[in-house]
Chain A
């Protein structure tokens, strides 16, 4: 099972390039938010259902799946999306993505990506890695976190330290997710 946590590392490494830019950019608290100046032309055809496309580079998790609500953890804050939500573009940070449908709720841990809500009540989620919470081994997470913290304090190179910081953020989010699940 430590394979699962370890396999997130490549995703972290590839995110490191983009996320350092993101981390640097969101350092400023007062970032401008652009609001929709025109209301969406046509809401979902009255069905009141949220259609979700959840895709990973190596797996299509959900395709045109009808759900009630999706809760996600975005860089701008946590949000819940219902059908006919205002179209929005959100960058996801490592955290829990909760897909709530009539059948129940499925929680995934995503390493990062983007969630875009479209005017036709279609929510597109592109993530680099996603795993169901029950597939994640908490001991491997603790071991990984300790290792990343050690790397961070021992790092002499700026890039290595930033990469370790991204890993720490990831492992702490994983721990929080697992803790939240067991409550």
Chain B
């Protein structure tokens, strides 16, 4: 009876314990603080996962439509078997976004771009999205001609793609024959792959082996090529967005799972610590009592 009431009074007097036990008190307080913060984090990541989940379904639907649009648009290139000319001047366009917490999305794009730039130092680069810009600016600052931001929070619209395409095409200081759109291809809900869409100049389209079969009004080709460029850019933007949403969902799911594991581990540690403190107090009391 005496022992139990002594323990009940314990919490209030914990702070005034002897030096040997102060370390345990401080550690318990630390663990408690850590537990609280990790629980908060796991709540945040769980809700971010939910949001990313809904965004992924919507983004995937938009991606299927944009992919169909882009593939129909590029069918001419495929059927005519357009090839890249040797020594063609290139423009690299990295299709990334402003938002983080999405796993390896942006670093994968930067790695692909940097690898390409290592082999071709002079290639001008246009960056869509701040995340890739930060990474590429460190390695190849002179190559960057344009960077666009305010991308990634919503599904890209054709308006945005046209504006970006127009800006690039209207700037006569950037000379290029081929444009390489580096984007993340959506493979599945848990995986993506960095790939590139190739855009060709009118001169290569006209030289293509199967192009002689087509009839056209000569002045239409330039417009067609600009249209094709905007369409491919739109495809890359929307599919990249879908890949990013899926990767964010996976990243948040992993983060929540890790936070959960950490909570379990910390709780066990806390309980063990608490029990050790109680056992020590008990031993003190009993030895004290038996000494009487």
Is B220 interfacial (CB 8 A cutoff)?
yes
Which secondary structure dominates where chain A touches chain B? mixed
Distance of A22 Cα from B221 Cα, bound (Å): 10
If A14-B158, A14-B162, A38-B212 touch, whether A126 touches B73 (CB-CB below 8 Å) is yes
CB nearest to A10 among chain B residues = B159
B65 and A59 contact, CB distance less than 8 A:
yes
Least CB distance, B238 to chain A, in whole angstroms: 8
Q: Once the chains are docked, how many angstroms separate the CA of A84 from the CA of B69?
A: 23
Q: Does A33 contact B (CB under 8 A)?
A: yes
Contact assessment for B215 and A21 in the assembled complex, using a CB-CB cutoff below 8 Å: no
**Is B119 on the interface with A (CB-CB < 8 A)?**
no
A residues contacting the other copy or chain, number (CB 8 A)? 48
What is the CA–CA distance of A114 and B220 in the complex, to the nearest angstrom? 10
Q: Which of B22-30, B31-39, B183-191, B223-231 forms part of the interface with chain A?
A: B223-231
* B219 touching A86, Cβ below 8 Å: no
**Nearest neighbor of B156 in chain A, beta-carbon distance:** A57
Q: Tell me, yes or no, whether B163 is within 8 Å of chain A by CB.
A: yes
Give per-residue flags for A105-140: 1 if the beta carbon is below 8 A from chain B beta carbons, else 0. Answer: 000000001101011101011101000000000000
- Taken residue by residue from 4 to 22, chain A's Cβ proximity to chain B (1 for < 8 Å, 0 otherwise) reads as 0000001101100110011
A76 to B62, CA, bound (A): 33
Known contacts A55-B69, A58-B65, A60-B65: does B213 contact A119 (CB below 8 Å)? yes
Which A residues, 83 to 97, have Cβ-Cβ distances below 8 Å to chain B? 86-91
B interface residues, tally (CB under 8 Å): 37
- Contact partner of B217 (CB less than 8 A), chosen from A38, A76, A128, is A76
Known: A58-B158, A114-B224. A33 touches B68 (CB 8 A): no
Write out the residue numbers on chain A whose beta carbons fall within 8 Å of the beta carbon of B69: 55-57, 60, 126
| Assembly CA distance A58 to B62 (angstroms) | 7
Is B76 in contact with A89, judged by CB distance below 8 angstroms?
Answer: yes
* Across-interface contacts of A126 in B (CB, < 8 A): 69, 72-73, 227, 231
Rounded to whole Å, the gap between the CB of A55 and the closest CB of chain B is 4
Contacts of B76 in A (CB 8 A): 89, 116, 118, 124
Provide the B255-283 mask, 1 if CB < 8 A to any CB of A, else 0: 00000000000000000000000000000
15 CB contacts below 8 A, A to B, read A21-B223, A21-B226, A32-B217, A33-B216, A33-B217, A36-B213, A40-B213, A55-B72, A57-B161, A75-B217, A87-B213, A88-B215, A113-B227, A116-B76, A118-B76
Q: Beyond the given A39-B213, A55-B72, A86-B215, please list 9 additional residue pairs across the A-B interface where CB-CB is below 8 A.
A: A17-B170, A18-B166, A55-B73, A58-B62, A60-B69, A63-B68, A89-B214, A91-B220, A126-B72
B contact residues vs A (CB 8 Å cutoff): 62, 64-66, 68-69, 72-73, 75-76, 79, 157-159, 161-163, 166, 170, 210, 212-224, 226-227, 231, 234
6 closest residue pairs by CB, A with B: A57-B158, A14-B162, A89-B216, A55-B69, A25-B219, A88-B215
